[in-house]
Amino acid sequence: MTEQQKAVPATEVDVNSVLSKAHKTGSLSEAQFMALLSVMMAKEARIAEKEALLEESLKARDQQRRRDSENYTVAKIEAQKACKHLKGGKGRQRAQAKDPAVYHHIFTDRTQVIKCQLCGARWMPGDTDEYLTRNGSKIPNWTGIGWRRASEMAEDSSNRPSSSERFATQAQGTMPKSDKGIDVPNLQI
């Protein structure tokens, strides 16, 4: 073997030695260059293949997650369609007093919601027996219960209404003042 053939890298480990020699001497033979190029191209091909496999894997995972999400949504809607929204479950007797399993909640921004504790169905002001209003668009109401009927169920329920903590406003005159008479907003007591 000649010195030139010995200097031709066969693996990536040999590449480092050839590159360090070329850095010291300042020259690289054509055979060494072509060998380095072929090793680097093979490495790039392996990296590209791994990236393609990873991309396929991510696409398959995303598709499965979408199917799972759709199945979850369909199952949730079917459960809400079948729910009677009454306490007592399977052991409920016909003569038993009706006690809806719903409650009325008011958030800090004064938005209201009535929610079933059994199936998670939610009703908001503006919902009708035919349509639910969500994010400014109307979607078919699979529960068949609008805001008015949901409010009646909440009134008939033994559950108490709930609300998020509400902060006093300055108009009510309950804003605390410092010793210099300056309003102290957001005072945590």
pLDDT tens digits along 173-189: 556 666 777 665 655 44
Same domain, 71 and 9: yes
Domain's final residue, options 33, 49, 80: 80
Number of domains in the chain: 2
Q: Specify the pLDDT at position 94.
A: 64
State the residue range of the domain holding 40.
3-80
In a domain, 181, yes or no: no
In a domain, 11, yes or no: yes
- Share of residues in the chain with pLDDT > 70 (%): 78
Same domain, 54 and 124: no
In a domain, 162, yes or no: yes
Same domain, 145 and 94: yes
Same domain, 46 and 63: yes
Structure tokens belonging to residue 144:
């068949």
pLDDT tens digits along 98-155: 889 999 999 988 899 999 999 999 999 999 999 998 888 899 999 999 999 999 999 9
The values of phi and psi at residue 140, to 5°, are: -60, 140
For the question of whether the overall pTM of this predicted structure is more than 0.85, the answer is no
Q: Specify the pLDDT at position 75.
A: 93
pLDDT tens digits along 55-71: 999 999 999 999 999 99
In a domain, 185, yes or no: no
Same domain, 105 and 68: no
In a domain, 178, yes or no: no
